[in-house]
Amino acid sequence: MSDKPFDAHSSAMEELLEVIEALLGPDGCPWDKEQTPESMCDYLAEESFELIEAIRAKDTQEAQEELGDVLFILLFMGVLFEKDGKFSLGDALKSSAAKMIRRHPHVFSDKQFDNQQALLDNWEATKKVENKETGKKGVFDSLPKGLPPLLKAYRINSKAARNGFTWDSTEGVQEQLTEEWNEWQDALQQGDSEASEKEFGDYLFTLVELGRRHGIKANSALDYTNQKFLRRFAAMESLARKQGTDLDSMNLEQMNELWDQVKHNN
């Protein structure tokens, strides 16, 4: 085995780059040659979601394919930047390596941390220095604006906690959650739809933080529940067909009976 773990994959990477060069070359694909890093962003997001779905489904074969697709788009975008004279793939890779070395002094130097919290504090301090050098002075300036709201809520709570702005205890979060619930119920009772939406948002935001303190990422937890519901509903539809009927012809009580039958197996 090679001393460098990625040496064995360098030929595959070179092959993929050669494919990209051919696609963008004089005899390449007209569609590919019209693309820009901006036009590829939606494809990157789509392929990334497909990769995440495969990983969470524990579909190894699909994960392999989707990982390759994501890497292709990233390399494709990198080549486009390089051809436009912005930066090279080597620049991007070296920048990332340097960043990881800075943020892991306990691995790449003799610095030691007493516990994981001290390690995370150092990570946050290092990021602050980096952000100031790039003009990002605020704690949340580096937070991507396009993050899905549930994932963004988790990152906001996490970053706030790393900077000491959070509840003193989990009990305090639970008390806040109860308070937010009551405020939402009050808004509902008053029939104020705008206030109801805002209070519901406050409740969700606090619930995300409570989950984070228990090691739960709200985005992945909700995705798991979504998939579970879809599996069970599909099983209900299948069971109804086996019984010679369909869900459209059933009332809620009948559908609940089917749900109870399938939930133990799905």
For residue range 52-98, what is the model confidence (pLDDT) as tens digits? 999 988 999 999 999 999 999 999 999 999 999 999 989 999 999 99
Cα separation, 203 vs 182, in Å, equals 9
Expressed as residue numbers, the domain containing 181 is: 149-216
Mark whether 172 and 212 lie in a shared domain. yes
Residue 41 lies in a domain: yes
Last residue of a domain, one of 216, 232, 250: 216
From CA 187, how far away is CA 198, in angstroms rounded? 9
Same domain, 30 and 86: yes
pLDDT at 135 over 80: no
Regarding whether 84 and 166 lie in a shared domain, the answer is: no
Distance, in Å, from the CA atom of 20 to the CA atom of 89, rounded to the nearest integer, reads 13
How many domains does the chain divide into? 4
Task: Answer yes or no: are the C-beta atoms of 33 and 24 closer than 8 Å.
Answer: yes
Give the integer Cα–Cα distance in Å for 80 and 23. 11
Rounded (5°) CA angle 5-7-10: 130
Is residue 171 in some structural domain?
yes
**What is the rounded CA–CA span in Å between residue 47 and residue 43?**
6
**pLDDT tens across 207-244, in order?**
999 999 999 999 999 999 999 999 999 999 999 999 99
Same domain, residue pair 93 and 24: yes
pTM for the whole structure: 0.70
> Are 29 and 23 a contacting pair, CB within 8 Å?
yes
The answer on 19 and 93 residing in a single domain is yes
The stretch 157-166 carries a mean pLDDT of 91
Cα Rg, the chain, nearest whole Å: 25
On whether residue 2 sits in a domain, the answer given is no
| pLDDT score at 1 | 39
Residues 85 and 12 in one domain: yes
In a domain, 1, yes or no: no
